[in-house]
Amino acid sequence: MLKLAFYGKGGIGKSTTVSNLASAFAANGLKIMQIGCDPKADSTASLHGGARIRSILDLVRERNNDFTLDEMVREGDGGVICVEAGGPTPGLGCAGRGIITALEKLQEKGAYDVYSPDVVLYDVLGDVVCGGFSMPMRKGYADRVFILTSGETMSIYAAANIAMAVKNFRGRGYASLGGFVLNRRNAPDEDAKAAKLAADFDSTVVGALDWSETVQQAEQLGKTVVHAFPDSPMAAQYRALADAVLAAARKGDAPC
């Protein structure tokens, strides 16, 4: 089982990218579990026709621990096993603590053993890398961290902060840095900026995605690009990225 966590600045396209990777992996015959670690609980929406599924924290609030593993997960397009951590009631509780609770419930109820996924994808909220938001990086959860960025200044800044956190956590046995993913926004010198960022952390840009209206069209249909437009150039980019991410993740201990 390979466990991969995806981080990046809020709005950089993590959920879209992770869901399309899940679709691409599943189309290649891999059993995939996608875990949304965002209080909005919308990571897996494009795998369910745009609908949000019930989150683990919703179940905890309503029924404490009186629910089954089957109620925590839902199968999405392509057979992807979907889970949403969810978040606290607005203004009450800690979102980071919510992620900890959700991931602990998955382990407690044997999710990884029961479903035996080949690849687990964690889609983690924004650029917060403290407290519960670092949970997917911890030993026993993710093996590799991939960081999404564009060439925009704040995106690069956030990506560097996340990479620094991965580096600092490394001594605790946390996940190592698998590499960066460039999600282009047509900013000046985008590729060069991403390459420099990766070099600063002795890493690489494992893949790049172009800005494309196809992504928005698929989202309006409540689907991933890989499912809605499988023959499109954008779907081909997601499939190529899926291959590159797997190759990077399966390498020996990645530098960071």
Residue 133, pLDDT score: 64
pTM of the full structure: 0.92
**Catalytic residue list contains 243:** no
Phi, psi (rounded to 5 degrees) for 177:
-80, 120
**Catalytic residue list contains 109:** no
Give the integer Cα–Cα distance in Å for 134 and 126.
11
Residue 255, pLDDT score: 41
Residue 141, pLDDT score: 81
Residue 254, pLDDT score: 42
Alpha helix (H) ranges present in the chain?
Answer: 14-27, 56-63, 95-108, 111-115, 153-169, 190-200, 213-220, 225-228, 233-249
Catalytic residue among 14, 105, 109, 193: 14
Count the alpha carbons within 13 Å of 176 in the hemisphere toward its beta carbon.
14
CATH for 2-249 is 3.40.50.300
Per-residue pLDDT of the chain (256 residues; tens, 9 = 90+): 999 999 999 899 999 999 999 999 999 999 999 999 888 889 999 999 999 898 998 998 898 889 999 999 999 999 999 999 886 665 555 666 678 888 889 999 999 999 999 999 999 876 666 555 666 677 678 899 999 999 999 999 999 999 998 888 877 778 899 999 999 999 999 999 999 999 999 999 999 999 999 999 999 999 999 999 999 999 999 999 999 999 999 885 444 3
**Catalytic residue list contains 127:** yes
Catalytic residue among 38, 77, 127, 143: 127
Residue 253, pLDDT score: 46
Cα dihedral across residues 102, 108, 109, 114: positive or negative: positive
**Catalytic residue list contains 40:** yes
Closest listed residue to residue 23, CA positions, set 229, 205, 251, 180: 229
> What are the beta bridge partners of residue 122?
5, 35
Catalytic residue among 9, 105, 109, 223: 9
Residue 92, pLDDT score: 54
Residue 220, pLDDT score: 95
Residue 98, pLDDT score: 72
CA 226 to chain centre: 16
